[in-house]
Amino acid sequence: MEAHISAQHWGRYGSVFLLFSAVLNTASAVTHYSIPEEMEEGSDVANLAADLGLDVKTLSKRRIRLDVIANKKYLDVNKETGQLYIAERIDRELICTAKTSTSCFLKMEAIVENPQRIFYIELEIMDINDNAPNFRRDTINLDISEATQAGERFSVNNAVDLDVGANSVKTYHLSDSDHFNIEIQTGRDGSKFADLILKKALDREQQAVHNLILTAVDGGVPTRSGTASITVRVLDTNDNAPKFDKDNYKIDIMENSPIGSLVVKLNATDLDEGTNSEILYSYSLYTSEKTQLTFDLNPNNGEITVKELINYEDFRIYDMEVIATDKGPNSLTGQCKLTILVTDMNDNHPEISIKSFQSPVKEVIAVDTVIAVVSVSDKDSGDNGIVDIRIADKLPFALRESSNNYYELVVSQPLDREKVPEYEITFTVTDRGSPPLSDNETMTLELLDVNDNVPQFPQSFYTIPVMENNAPGALLSSLTAFDPDLHENQYLVYFIIEKEIVNTSMSMLFSINPENGNLYALKTFDYEIEKEFLFHIEARDSGVPPLSSNVTVHIIIVDQNDNTPVIVSPWRAHGSVVEEKIPRSTDKGSLVSKVIAIDTDSVQNSRITYQFLQVTDATLFSLDQYNGEIRTMRMFSYRDPRHQRLVVIAKDNGDPALSATVTIKLSTVETAVKAYSDMTEVPLEYDIFSDLNVYLVIGLGSVSFLLLITILVTCVLKCQKPKLSKAAPPSRNSVISERNSTIADSTLVSNDAYWYSLFLAETRKGKLVVRQPVPKAGSRYIVSSLPRSTGLTETSDSAASTLQGSTTTGSSSS
């Protein structure tokens, strides 16, 4: 009997069918079952008790059991239910290792006791697709020459699948390739394998290695597959010539590059490999010998280096052809052309050449006149060969381009030899290289003098002080002029421009050395007569035409203290002792007398001071040192002597000082002197002389000035009327003024103090004041103020006699 039992298979294989076939054969008694492999443990196979005709209830009692196969108990019987179940996972490939048959059986015996019986069980293990195809090697390496023809066949390892039947390897697949495909073959045992076929010629230079994937696929459901990598390495043949990166090279190199410096490193490549790709470099026959001597080519690495010094000015372009040859059999070659352009280096200094130069030139040369022509050049090129020329900015010259690289030096400003006698003109040429180079050339331009400068005195006005009483021929000053011209234009001659003063020529008073300008006095000068001179001196050069200039000279006669003070009051007509009378009742501070002295020297030397030289009683009288007033310091007492003797000295301010003295004998009387009542006749007021010191200074200055004028006028009159000069010349102290007077009549004055007050007042008004004694009138005098219309000769005579006597008296008193 044969039965088919289907059973549910759980686990990773899903549902499976159990085919049970029971064959009851009295002769063999074999029970047959079919199950798939890999059923889960505990899965029921069949009800063995029912199939064997055993009572389920007696199974435990009869101790039913299955024998163990190879120490493994794959099946067991449930003694309660009689079910045959999977006790341990069954792997068909482990049980049935032989691939010769697709069938796999597991045979066992079931044994029961009481009574003992043996049942034969045959379990067929059916294959499932639980194994994927597998290649013996994961990577298959093939070496194929690139010269192999298309259609060539190459064997590869086949895949193995432990499954059998439909679950074993059924086909192969090859990854996409332009050069290969596969052809599937079937062996005698039905196994499948693939051959690799070259369908397109290989090119190692395009692709040196081909990586393929071979996939084996079984026939199970679902299908399983396995892969292997096929690495095809293309073997090289010398089928490629060396090739340079570029066919033509243009290389710039700086001139004067150091020997051994790298110019370029050529790179030729050969797509072949091994010795087929090893390259040697060499010059071709088209490369000139000069180029080969200048540049060195390394045959192994293609480096071109400088072999000799490169000069741009000698060669600017080098052409060469380089050949690259591989080392393969039947070697192949490639070539390239190189053009080496030498870049100019700014290694040449610009040059300047003086084509013409005019020197010396006159300082009056016209502006824009060409005085030099220069040319510039530079052996370099480009900016290195462009030359700029310049001169100093402060020079009165300019550069003007006349033609290509030719320049004219012209005068741009008027020249003046006296300011700059010669010029150092430096031409500086600079190229435009980086860094720039320069050179210079210096020439000296000398200027010729022309007489274009007048002589120049350091000052336009000279004030020369000359001390009076100088020696004739004394050097007064050196009036030297300067002429910046040269030679005869510089030689100067000095002249005094003639000018007459009171019929006297300047050349009679002064002399100048025509060569050096030393000024001399020809006479002795007297300050009291001549105080200053004003004239011009001319300096003239010797040029053609001559140029000249003049300067004003102011000679100032400086006073010397050569005049002794003259006491004019009190008057001393009757000797050196002046007698005065004063009442004994005179109050304290009363004016007793006033000593007045005059000095014809200058103001500084004529400043008079008064002092007591002798005094009878120093407590009785005081003397003002500036105005000469003698006043009482107290009233007279009965013990004071009736006669008082006062000696007064009048001293000037000169150095050394000169002086004069006067002796005054004062007699005291009991009553007032009648003469004082006569003062009512004088049309003057005393209060206007309150400050006699001021009047004294003014009077002395006026007297000195009028005295000088009088002497000059007298000299003129004497020269014009020599016949009338028999009379005695008037004294220089006699003439005080020649101006108009408002006092027409003479005034009677009896006191010296009042006489001098009147003298000062009238002198300030510009009158001629004289004093004459009145005959038979004792000490009374006539003071006259004469207008200008009064005859000078008469007045002078009378005045001279009057004052001369006073002077004599003062001198004797001294």
User: Cβ atoms within 10 A of the Cβ of 173, count?
Assistant: 14
Position 260 confidence tier, pLDDT thresholds 50, 70, 90: very high
Beta bridge partners of 781: 749, 773
Structure tokens given for 594: 């006033």
Mean per-residue pLDDT over the chain, rounded: 79
Q: Is the pLDDT of residue 341 over 80?
A: yes
Strands 361-362 and 438-448: parallel
Residue in 806, 706, 805, 766 with CA at minimum distance from that of residue 714: 706
Q: 461 near 554, Cβ under 8 Å?
A: yes
**Does the reported pTM lie above 0.85?**
no
What does the alpha-carbon distance between residue 267 and residue 298 come to, in Å, rounded to a whole number? 12
- Angle subtended by helix axes 752-764 and 692-720, to nearest 10: 70
What does the alpha-carbon distance between residue 201 and residue 187 come to, in Å, rounded to a whole number? 29
The whole-number pLDDT of residue 252 equals 93
Q: Is the pLDDT of residue 186 over 90?
A: no
- The stretch 375-389 carries a mean pLDDT of 88
The whole-number pLDDT of residue 15 equals 31
The whole-number pLDDT of residue 781 equals 45
Alpha helix segments (H runs only) across 53-147: 59-62, 92-95
| Chain-centre distance for alpha carbon 353 | 34
- The stretch 433-454 carries a mean pLDDT of 90
Q: 405 near 387, Cβ under 8 Å?
A: yes
Contacts of 808 (CB under 8 A, 6+ apart): none
Which residue type, as a one-letter code, is found at position 379?
K
| Chain-centre distance for alpha carbon 443 | 32
What does the alpha-carbon distance between residue 514 and residue 516 come to, in Å, rounded to a whole number? 6
Position 795 confidence tier, pLDDT thresholds 50, 70, 90: very low
The whole-number pLDDT of residue 658 equals 87
The whole-number pLDDT of residue 381 equals 84
The whole-number pLDDT of residue 481 equals 92
What does the alpha-carbon distance between residue 759 and residue 597 come to, in Å, rounded to a whole number? 13
Which residue type, as a one-letter code, is found at position 390?
R
Q: 528 near 539, Cβ under 8 Å?
A: no
What does the alpha-carbon distance between residue 26 and residue 28 come to, in Å, rounded to a whole number? 6
- The stretch 489-497 carries a mean pLDDT of 91
Position 501 confidence tier, pLDDT thresholds 50, 70, 90: low
What does the alpha-carbon distance between residue 721 and residue 552 come to, in Å, rounded to a whole number? 34
What does the alpha-carbon distance between residue 702 and residue 601 come to, in Å, rounded to a whole number? 12
- The answer for 623, left when phi > 0, alpha when psi is -120 to 50, beta otherwise, is beta
Structure tokens given for 236: 């090289």
Tens of pLDDT, residue by residue over 7-44, are: 333 333 333 333 333 333 333 468 898 989 888 888 88
| Chain-centre distance for alpha carbon 312 | 38
- The stretch 640-667 carries a mean pLDDT of 87
Tens of pLDDT, residue by residue over 57-76, are: 888 888 888 876 667 788 88
Position 485 confidence tier, pLDDT thresholds 50, 70, 90: confident
Q: For 127, which DSSP code?
A: P
Residue in 513, 496, 509, 500 with CA at minimum distance from that of residue 462: 496
Beta bridge partners of 630: 593, 623
Structure tokens given for 537: 């001196």
The whole-number pLDDT of residue 220 equals 85
What percent of the chain clears pLDDT 70, i.e. is strictly above it? 80
Q: What is the dihedral of CA 766, 772, 774, 777, to 10 degrees?
A: 100
Tens of pLDDT, residue by residue over 270-281, are: 888 888 889 999
Beta bridge partners of 186: 192
User: Cβ atoms within 10 A of the Cβ of 240, count?
Assistant: 21
Q: Which helix (H) or strand (E) holds 781?
A: strand 781-786
What does the alpha-carbon distance between residue 689 and residue 691 come to, in Å, rounded to a whole number? 5
Contacts of 57 (CB under 8 A, 6+ apart): none
Structure tokens given for 57: 């209830």
The whole-number pLDDT of residue 720 equals 63
- The stretch 699-718 carries a mean pLDDT of 83
Q: Is the pLDDT of residue 808 over 70?
A: no
Q: Is the pLDDT of residue 138 over 70?
A: yes
What percent of the chain clears pLDDT 90, i.e. is strictly above it? 32
